[in-house]
Amino acid sequence: MSVSGTINLIWLEGQDCAGCTISTKQASNPTLIDVLVGTIPALGEIRLVFHPTLMPDWGEDAAKVLVDAADGKYDPFVLVLEGAIPDESKAVGGVFCVVGEVGERILKLEDVVRDLSKRCAAAVALGSCASFGGIPHGSPNPTGARGLLDFLGKDWKSGLGLPVVCVPGCPPRPDNIIQALGSLVLVARGVTPVPELDEWHRPKFLYGYTAHELCPICGFYAEGKDAHAFGELGCLGGIGCKGIITNCNASTSWTDGYGGCTRTGVPCFGCADPNFPDPPTSPFFAKAPAMAFVKETFAGNWGHFKMGLARLKRRKI
């Protein structure tokens, strides 16, 4: 099945800080504007019909979009969730998360997500909170926060037959957001096949490697040169880097070739990991589990040995 006309985006914010939205606005390859004004012909027309932080409408006019969407007025649409979903059955004498009001009706996030999930073409969990619960889900998790993957289940399928797609990070790298959303629009248009997902429903083309494998300062690790304090040149593993246990490409650069966590001297704190912010990603400045480094050392030694042997052979030109 492929979609030819306008594809609408309905972007909800639950238990979040709007950091994923800010990150989205920093995307460079392509930019959010490129996507929305049609600079990329294969994407076709995309309309952002609901976004609590970016849309000009407010109050009941804005909330009505959600009610109409549940009735089919905005089909086909991609549901984007930023932020975790609290468990309203744990709210005593109140409500944890409301996304709007229409007349006397209070729109709880939990109900809106459930209603929209019944007709969305695809559903994307943006950021670690929406993917796996993230910071609101951290122990002792008083609101029963969970991500979209837990809420809808690993077997859930969208109108296009797709599972929940997770784009974790706190926030995710800007280009990861746009490229993940863009790839799903291309799937909906029938241009590209469904991207391969890993066991945590992350697109492998974005999350297929650890921050350590992609780390631009991994040469220090190979040389055994550790940084012992912030600002010192060296591998950051001794001051808490969790890159060795975290699948993320943000260590390479943050946006447009600039920034990047370990590249700028910041130890990875595992914000894209499904366990974040609980152990083993925390305490943030404690070292990653030693076993991860032991395994990496054995793999690394074997890799060095193989590379050495490969260099002994003459190259045929």
Contacting residues toward ligand SF4, per CB under 6 A: 169, 211-212, 215, 217-218, 221, 235-237, 241, 243-244, 246, 248, 250-251, 261-262, 268-272
Kindly state the tokens that stand for 209.
Answer: 């490697």
Which are the contacts of 162, defined by CB distance < 8 A and separation ≥ 6? 122, 123, 184, 187, 194
Positive or negative, the CA dihedral 291, 231, 19, 28 is: negative
Q: Considering beta carbons, is residue 30 or 300 the nearer one to ligand SF4?
A: 300
CA distance 313 to 120: 55
Q: Which of 54, 159, 69 is nearest to 107 (CA)?
A: 69
The 3-state DSSP class for residue 166 equals: strand
Q: How far is the CB of 116 from ligand SF4 (least distance, A)?
A: 28
Rounded distance between C-alpha atoms, residue 17 and residue 128, angstroms: 12
Comparison of 65 and 235: residue with beta carbon closer to ligand SF4: 235
Select 117 or 128, whichever has its Cβ closest to ligand SF4.
Answer: 128
- Closest residue to ligand SF4 in the complex (CB): 243
Spatial contact of 85 and 113, defined as CB atoms under 8 Å apart: yes
- Which CB atom, from 159 or from 237, has the smaller least distance to ligand SF4? 237
- Cα separation, 60 vs 299, whole angstroms: 58
Q: For residues 143 and 246, which CB has a smaller minimum distance to ligand SF4 in the complex?
A: 246
Least distance from C-beta 158 to ligand SF4, angstroms?
26
**Nearest approach, Cβ of 168 to ligand SF4 (angstroms)?**
8
Give whichever of 169 and 195 is closer to ligand SF4, judged by the CB atom.
169
Burial of 21 (0-12, 13-18, 19+ CB in 10 A): buried
Q: Are 16 and 55 in contact (CB under 8 A)?
A: no
Q: How far is the CB of 11 from ligand SF4 (least distance, A)?
A: 21
Asked if 210 contacts 244 with a C-beta cutoff of 8 angstroms, the reply is yes
Least gap, CB of 231 to ligand SF4 (angstroms): 14
Smallest gap from Cβ 43 to ligand SF4, in A, equals: 26
CB of 279 to ligand SF4, least distance (A): 15
Q: Which is nearer to ligand SF4, 134 or 243 (CB)?
A: 243
Between the alpha carbon of residue 193 and those of residues 9, 75, 186, 196, 202, the distances in Å are 20, 22, 8, 9, 15
